[in-house]
Amino acid sequence: MNLAIMCSGGDAPGMNAAVKKFVDYTEERGETPYLIFDGLEGLIDGRIKRASHADVAGILHRGGSVIRSSRSQRFYEYDYRKQAYENLRKEGIEGLVVLGGDGSFRAMERFCGEFDVRFVGIPTTIDNDIYGTDYCLGVDTALNTIRDALDKIYDTASTFNRAFVVEVMGRECGYLAAISAISSGAEICVIPEVDFNRAVAEERLKEEIAAGRRYILAIVAEGTGRTEEIARWIENSLGFETRVTVLGHIQRGGAPTTFDRMMGFEFAVTAVDRLLSGEKANRVTVWKNGAIGLLDIESVVSHKNRLNPHHLAMLNRLD
């Protein structure tokens, strides 16, 4: 069987680990691996290549994706989806492994419903916001990138008696902000999932300031749109000279951690095994309760991910 792998949407550390394991393991199973370059756009334009060992040698330590990624407005149109299918047929490709997020999986659900293609998705987004999986590829590396930045910011905050407001990624999901706030000992965390009780936080912080607190660290998820508001509040109401740091796209880059490399391997092997099993595909690999599994695509795209209540409970002291 000819199988292909592609990346879709935002990049995340660990993509290269999954790509390498896909190629190596597909060949180990006696099948033929292909690489699709530039995501959905490359699928439409036929940028497809028979993979060789040379294509994936020495890529484990690299961030990003050697086969690159994209978002595609053209894929919303049937004629372009048909063109993409014809490109797969030309190479005899029957199964696809797609590293991506919710939007990519919705696109694949529609594509595989229209054409004779089997698909398995690998959840890949540092936001960790895909339903049905406790973990998405790239999250551990992103958290460690944020942790390193926060540790350094703490040094400056404590030295100059300042407040720092740090904006991290997370449009609709506050996972990165929540876990970073908990693990760094931040005083404030603002996420999309819950209302930030500014009055309660202000009362608590004023008491701590009166008792000798000399710095404040606030973590804000970008999706709240409240970074500047929180900075003004701290400066005007709490009296701290305040600086804003937006971490931005450095959270997506960098060499993947050992955990992300291993998860990339595990997800890729599970995806290939499913495609070669003859069982129904159109599944997403998931990491649930410490074990790898598969979930049907309909469940993944029809439900909204929720933050772990245990993590939300740990944030209560920051309200």
User: What per-residue confidence (pLDDT) applies to 316?
Assistant: 72
Distance CA 52, CA 254 (A): 25
- Is the Cβ–Cβ distance between 206 and 239 less than 8 Å? no
Q: What is the pLDDT of residues 119-142, one digit of tens each?
A: 999 999 999 999 999 999 999 999
CB 174, CB 191: distance < 8 Å:
yes
Contact 36, 111 (CB under 8 A): no
Q: Residue 192 carries which DSSP code?
A: T
Predicted pLDDT of residue 317: 62
Here the tokens at position 75 are: 């894929």
Report CA-CA distances (Å) from 51 to 108, 113, 124, 164, 199: 22, 27, 21, 47, 58
Which residue ranges make up each domain of the chain? 2-138+256-304, 139-252
**Domain 139-252 in the same topology as domain 2-138+256-304:** yes
Q: What pLDDT is recorded for position 278?
A: 87
Q: How many CB atoms lie within 10 A of CB 258?
A: 10
Check 11, 38, 102, 127 and give the catalytic one: 127
Give CA–CA dist 212/4, Å, rounded: 59
Element (H, E) at 28: helix 15-28
Q: Which pTM does this prediction carry?
A: 0.95
- Assess whether 127 carries a catalytic annotation: yes
The low-confidence residues of the chain, meaning pLDDT below 50, are none
Instruction: Return the CATH fold of 139-252.
Output: Rossmann fold (3.40.50)
Q: List phi, psi (to 5°) of 174.
A: -95, 25
Pick one of 3.40.50.300, 2.30.130.60, 3.40.50.450, 3.30.43.10 as the CATH number of 2-138+256-304. Answer: 3.40.50.450
